[in-house]
Amino acid sequence: MNPVIIKFWGVRGSIPTPGPRTLRYGGNTACVEITFPDTPRFIIDAGSGIRELGKELLSIQQPVEAYIFLSHFHWDHIQGLPFFKPAFEPGNKFIIFGCDEPNVPLDQIISIQMNPIYFPVAIEDMRSEIEFRTIAEENFNLNGVNVQTKYLNHPGYTLGFRFQYDHKSIVYLSDNEPFLQNQIVHRLPKHREESLESRFETFVEDKEKELIEFLANADVLIHDAQYFPDEYKKRIRWGHSPYTYAVDLAVKGKVKELILFHHDPDHDDETVDKIEQLSQERLRQADYPIKCSAAREGMEIEI
Ligand SMILES: [Zn+2]
Ligand SMILES: [Zn+2]
């Protein structure tokens, strides 16, 4: 049986961070390639990492066919698309999956970033065949790969993905934050405050339960681990997680391997090492010592 191969082309969150401080983990923003046997390639997110992937695809000198899944449209997840050379070559074929924003359909969201105000080349210059497919929270089959999507806790509409092929599953939750605890409820009489608070707690528990079901038993969970817990406290509602949350989800969902993703642009290689080490320690403390590593550009995982 042919293996499923995951390759990381961009692992950084927010903004590309080239330079000597990020040499080992890499400075390109989110892009992950998954190769399933006998299907076009799956590309998850089109951050600056997709540019290098594009160069490699052209070097193979065969027509390129791929599914591109966009989790959401923050710059670090789409900024590489205008630099993805295979999209400009006739004979190549891409299907881009992503959600619509209110009043802005997917194809417009993508073409806006290539408007001449922002970029010199128009989307019409992409001579490959490009189809846009709007998705929401759903479950569908693509050439033998089951794709399941879930809205995450991140500003704007953001999808998480679960890909399942022949009992092998990969879950990608790039930009995701814990559902808020201890929410302060303003301007309500005391008794209403209490009932709302308890309703909110139930809501939080339900949401968390759904997320754990979504990622449960995955062979590989790729999750946002941008912060240390004390950094997170200062950035609540920015849409990202402390590594402790990623580890706790992995434990609760009994996943087989955890990949820490979306590294903070201010974290140098040594800081990412530290997050990796503390995550491994937390897994050991939970008596669940699975394989856990910080995503690194060029890293490949075979399952
Ligand atoms: Zn991001
Ligand atoms: Zn984002």
Parse the chain into domains and list their residue ranges. Answer: 5-302
CA of 76 to the centre of ligand 1 (A): 5
pLDDT at 241 over 80: yes
Q: Give the model's confidence band at 180: pLDDT under 50 very low, under 70 low, under 90 confident, else very high.
A: confident
Residue 83 carries which DSSP code?
A: G
Q: Which two tokens stand for residue 97?
A: 């999956």
CATH number given to 5-302: 3.60.15.10
In the reported structure, the alpha carbon of residue 174 is separated from the centroid of ligand 1 by a whole-number distance in angstroms of 7
Nearest ligand for residue 79 CA = 1
Q: What is the pTM of this model?
A: 0.94
- As a whole number of Å, the CA-based R_g of the chain is 20
67's tokens: 């599914």
Specify the DSSP class assigned to residue 193: H
Side-chain half-sphere CA neighbours of 95 within 13 A:
11
Map tokens 């550009």 to a residue: 297
Q: Tell me what the mean pLDDT of segment 53-64 comes to.
A: 95
Non-local (6+) Cβ contacts of 162 within 8 A are: 146, 147, 148, 149, 150, 169, 170, 171, 172, 214, 215, 218
Mean pLDDT on 85-100: 97
The per-residue b/e assignment along 40-61, b for 16 or more CB within 10 angstroms, e otherwise, is bbbbbbbbbbbbbbbeebeeee
Q: How far is the CA of 72 from the centre of ligand 1 (A)?
A: 8
Residue 69: count other Cβ atoms within 10 Å of its Cβ: 25
List the structure tokens of 177.
Answer: 């934050």
CA of 265 to the centre of ligand 2 (A): 13
Residue 188: per-residue pLDDT: 47
Is the four-CA dihedral 77, 41, 215, 295 of positive or negative sign? negative
Average pLDDT of the segment spanning 21-28: 98
Residues with CB under 5 A from ligand 1 (ion): 13, 76, 175
Per-chain residues with Cβ under 5 A from ion ligand 2: 74, 175
Q: Which has the minimum average pLDDT: 150-159, 259-268, 272-281?
A: 150-159
Cβ atoms of 88 and 57 within 8 Å: the answer is no
DSSP bridge partners of 161: 149, 172
